[in-house]
Structure 1
Amino acid sequence: MDYVRIGEKLVSLEKIFETVKLITKMRSDGLSQQEVATKLKLDRTFISRLENIGSIRRGGRIGFISFPVANKDELHAMADRNGIEQRLILSNQERWQLVEQKSGMEFFNQMMSVIEGFRQCDTVLVFCSSKWNNLAGVLLDNQVLTREIAPTPVTGDIYVDPQEVEKVLVNIV
């Protein structure tokens, strides 16, 4: 256990970390700042300031779909930086493995689960071929913003510029 001496006090860092985790869990479960503060015997303003310290962005949930891409790691890093919670970023090989390594029913169930995840988002960015961009617009009942990365059919991985994605994000955040 890590302890830090601050003046006359001996402070447990573990206790601080566990309390912060509990606060964020309670807030993400839907409790108000005041309810959390009351339950944990804290000031509501402390809860608010704690949330502000860790805030990445304001606004609704954003999803990002892009395939087949050559630069998955770059796109995941961009998504992390921008607080994109739901994502499906695949190379061409991964895209085909998704189909070939499952039975029809397994694939269908997995795709329904993926679609449901993206339907929980307020806005979904789709950087795919025109065919997949159009399909996403039909399957998702939220705001869908698309960019065509290559004409259909796409037969190999395409480089998707993370800065282009961020340019679209600026307009919705």
Structure 2
Amino acid sequence: MNIIRVGDKVLNTDRIHRMVDQILQLRHEGLSQQEVADRLGVDRTLVSRLEGLGEIRKGPQVAVIGFPLANARELTEVAQAGGVDFILLMTEEERCNFVQEQNGAALINYIMDVFSQIKSYDSVIFIGSDMRIKMVEAILGPKIIGWEIGISPIKKDCWIDPEQLHKLILHLKNAG
């Protein structure tokens, strides 16, 4: 327990930190500021001001998903530098290893978790085969920006121009 004195008040900073963490977690889970305030017994303005203190940027949420990519690491760095919110880029070897390491239920749960996470994003850049792009478009709709790298099944890594990805990310981030 971390206790400090402020004027005539004795404060438990651990309790404050836990409350702030709880406020942010509930907001992250999708509750409105008012719902969080009501649930935790605080003012809505406190929730708003906490968010303001930690705000890095406003703007559209963008995800980048793609495989099989020869330069997945380089593209990941480009996406990170561009402020992309969700990145899942893999080589064919990484994709195969990932699939083989999972049992069926774990793999399905992971895929469902990814879709539930990115469904609220403004834009999803999906780099892959014609068939995979069509599947993802059927699930997520018009927010998908399909970047076709070949006809399914693609068995070897494809190289993507990092500068093209950078320009697309900038365009999407500035469009919001």
Which TM-score applies when normalising by structure 1?
0.66
Structure 2 stretches of 5 or more lacking a match? none
**Displacement, 1:118?**
6.4
Task: Name which structure has the greater RCO, CA cutoff 8 Å, separation 6+.
Answer: 2
Residue 166 of structure 1 corresponds to 169
Q: Are positions 1:24 and 2:48 aligned together?
A: no
Instruction: Give the stretch that moved more between structures: 162-171 or 16-25.
Output: 162-171
Structure 1 residues 66-81: aligned runs within 5 Å? 66-69=66-69, 70-72=71-73, 75=76, 78-79=79-80
Residue 47 of structure 2 corresponds to 47
**RMSD after superposition:** 4.0
Q: What is the aligned-residue identity percentage?
A: 24
Secondary structure of the structure 1 residue equivalent to 2:141: coil
Residue 145 of structure 1 corresponds to 145
Residue 65 of structure 2 corresponds to 65
**Displacement, 1:110?**
5.7
Structure 1 stretches of 5 or more lacking a match? none
What amino acid maps onto 2:83 in structure 1?
A: N
Which TM-score applies when normalising by structure 2?
0.65
**Displacement, 1:77?**
7.7
CA contact (8 A) 1:4 1:12 kept: yes
CA contact (8 A) 1:65 1:89 kept: yes
What amino acid maps onto 2:157 in structure 1?
A: G
What amino acid maps onto 2:116 in structure 1?
A: G
d(CA) in 1 for partners of 2:136, 2:79? 21
Deviations 1:61-100 (A, max 9, x none): 5432122232437626835973624x43212211223455
